[in-house]
Amino acid sequence: MTSTDSLGVMHGIRNVKVVKSLLANNDLVAEANRQTFAAHGVLAINIIASPGAGKTSAIIRLIQALEGRARIAVIEGDIAGSIDTEKVLAAGAADAVQINTGGGCHLEASMIQQALDDLDLGQAELLIIENVGNLICPNYWKLGEQLRLCLASTAEGHDKPLKYPDVFAASDVIVINKSDLAELVDFDRKIFIELVRALNEHAPIFEISCRSGAGVAELAEWLLAQRG
């Protein structure tokens, strides 16, 4: 449907094919972040987990496990407060920056880009980004990380992958925390692993306990090896 106005310009209604991710603008910034990480030789890991799964405890365990071999910088994403930043710095993080989303339920690439201004990447081999505790939307907003780590805990139940398939499908590594609680909370690891494998054939699955430290060394070694 077209018409021509008095100046001879065609007017009409047109269909424009786009086929572009709604996150396209975020993805551009994520790519810039990825280049920054690469330029510093830093492996960036985005940890996605529910509240209470043990993200901060896992980061602290990893810092301790790699002490003397690799330094870890941390970006802490939280709705409010800086408790976690203080904790990881006390545990020996190379540097740490807090991002408060002020109620926002996920981190976005632009927030990371801004945080990088205040973070000394030259001091670190690994950068761990602790996303806001949430298994849903953090999965959509890439941050520029080279590795996406999904952390689940036995106490949340073995059906987590069924309820939140996207994060398990899109992660490069799956970690089950609180392995020491498995029996107490009737966590069926066979079911959990079967559900993860239906979504993700290749991601390694690590079982750890941040309480006892079991399994942390294996995870730390694997992460370090990914830096290449």
Partner 1 sequence: MHELSIMASLLDVAEEHARAAGAQKVLSIHVVVGERSSFVDDSLLFYFDALTPGRLAEGAKLVIRRTPMRFYCQTCERDYTPPMNSFRCPTCNTTGRLQDDGNACYLEHMEIET
If one asks whether residue 26 binds partner 1 (CB under 8 A), the answer comes out as yes
Q: How far is the CB of 122 from partner 1 (least distance, A)?
A: 31
Beta pairing partners, 2: 12
Stretch that binds partner 1, among 37-45, 134-142, 171-179, 203-211 (CB under 8 A): 134-142
**Number of residues lying near partner 1 (CB under 8 A):** 37
If one asks whether residue 20 binds partner 1 (CB under 8 A), the answer comes out as yes
Helix (H) or strand (E) holding 56: helix 55-65
x/- mask, partner 1, residues 37-76, rule CB under 8 A, reads ----------------------------------------
If one asks whether residue 106 binds partner 1 (CB under 8 A), the answer comes out as yes
If one asks whether residue 104 binds partner 1 (CB under 8 A), the answer comes out as yes
If one asks whether residue 14 binds partner 1 (CB under 8 A), the answer comes out as yes
**End-to-end Cα distance, the chain:** 58
Residues in the chain: 228
If one asks whether residue 207 binds partner 1 (CB under 8 A), the answer comes out as no
| DSSP code of residue 148 | E
If one asks whether residue 202 binds partner 1 (CB under 8 A), the answer comes out as no
Phi and psi at residue 115, to the nearest 5°: -60, -30
Crossing angle (nearest 10°) for helices 109-116 and 24-39: 30
Q: Is 46:145 a contact under the CB 8 Å cutoff?
A: yes
If one asks whether residue 160 binds partner 1 (CB under 8 A), the answer comes out as no
x/- mask, partner 1, residues 84-103, rule CB under 8 A, reads -------------------x
If one asks whether residue 25 binds partner 1 (CB under 8 A), the answer comes out as yes
Q: Is 202 helix (H, G, I), strand (E, B) or coil?
A: coil
Q: Is 227 helix (H, G, I), strand (E, B) or coil?
A: coil
What does the alpha-carbon distance between residue 169 and residue 177 come to, in Å, rounded to a whole number?
A: 18
Q: Is 92 helix (H, G, I), strand (E, B) or coil?
A: coil
Q: Is 60:47 a contact under the CB 8 Å cutoff?
A: no
In which residue are the tokens 């009409």 written? 12
If one asks whether residue 198 binds partner 1 (CB under 8 A), the answer comes out as yes
- C-beta closer to partner 1: residue 6 or 15: 15
If one asks whether residue 203 binds partner 1 (CB under 8 A), the answer comes out as no
Which residues of this protein are in contact with partner 1, per CB under 8 A?
10-26, 103-106, 108, 136-137, 139-141, 162, 165-166, 169-170, 194-195, 197-199
